[in-house]
Amino acid sequence: MNILGIESSCDETAAAIVSDGVYVRSTIIATSLGDHQRFGGIIPEIASRRQIEFIHEVVTTSLAQAQMTLEDIDAIAVTRSPGLMGSLLVGLMFARGIARAQKKPLIEIDHVKAHLYSNYVQLPEEPPACGLSSLPAVGLVVSGGHSSLFYIKDFKNLQLLGSTRDDAAGEAFDKVARILGLGYPGGPVIDRLSSQGINEEIKFPQASLPGSYDFSFSGLKTAVLYYTQKHKHKPGFSVAKVAYAFQESVVAVLTEKSLKACQKMKVKTLLIGGGVAANSALRSLLKTRAQAQGINVFFPPMALCLDNAAMVAGLAFHWHKDFLSFGTKRR
């Protein structure tokens, strides 16, 4: 079963073809990141305009790479939400047009849940991170817009355990990078710089939010701002050390809450998804702590941590069999 996936929730425009919910036949991503960098963040109007320019070519190239035509496609999958309204509409309208013209089922997918499914799709010549036999599991999605914990009975039954109350983890990385004058996006540069600033002298607060699995990083961001304003003109001030201390605080909270959720839900599998899943410190600490507790933790391949359409097409496979006739399913 071949599903064409389309993803356009933020600044990426992506298309992919996935067979049987697992095998990636093609994956194409066009990004407008360069258009946003001088503004220090995503400008929604620019993102959606570029996606209008990109989407036809991205879908056409994905089909060509898979050596398929639309006649070979069994269903169309597209990101429904969450995301930037204008960007989502570009993908939705394009996918709905193809589905109606080709009389193919249309499956509208939740972007956040799809990130967790990135662990199950298989890129060419690479094994998937894990198999569906690993369920039930706890899933952590950490990205620019989301910090969410789920209990996953299966990929039709995901229960939200906790989410961000203010700044998401990736958003905090971007804002702290701006405070430190490191440019945009902030995640990769802070990750690289932190390895040069290992220290024990700077400690930033962690919002534990006892009694919940929610996250809060706004206070941490503010603490970095005040520390930087107070110390940046003093001898010995180190941007790398501040970056390290900030990253350590974020990673510690993400790790602690995720493992506590695994214990609470009595599961031995932890799935990670989203752009911050590429962070080296998060990968290292989670693997070490999870192994000590007998929990298996899985990360997607680096290519599938950021927004992509393979995760959308893969997740949609589990809903395709619900179609008895042409229609739309929203999941």
Residues facing 293 on adjacent strands: none
CA angle 49–55–61, rounded 5-degree value = 150
In this prediction, residue 326 carries a pLDDT of 39
Render pLDDT for 168-198 as a digit per residue (tens, 0 to 9): 999 999 999 999 999 999 999 999 999 999 9
In this prediction, residue 38 carries a pLDDT of 85
Q: Sign of the C-alpha dihedral, residues 32, 37, 42, 45?
A: negative
Label residue 294 left, alpha or beta by phi (over 0 means left) and psi (-120 to 50 means alpha).
left
Helices (H), 195-267: 218-231, 239-265
In this prediction, residue 327 carries a pLDDT of 45
Residues facing 157 on adjacent strands: 154
In this prediction, residue 331 carries a pLDDT of 58
pTM score over 0.85:
yes
Domains within the chain, CATH numbers bracketed = 2-129+305-330 (3.30.420.40), 132-299 (3.30.420.40)
Helices (H), the chain: 33-36, 44-65, 85-102, 111-117, 169-179, 186-194, 218-231, 239-265, 280-292, 310-320
Residues facing 164 on adjacent strands: 215
d(CA 195, CA 179): 19
d(CA 3, CA 46): 29
Q: pLDDT under 50 in the chain at which residues?
A: 324-327
d(CA 6, CA 119): 18
In this prediction, residue 172 carries a pLDDT of 96
d(CA 101, CA 245): 54
Written as one letter, the residue type at 233 is: H
According to DSSP, residue 38 is labeled G
Strands (E), 155-307: 157-162, 269-273, 296-298
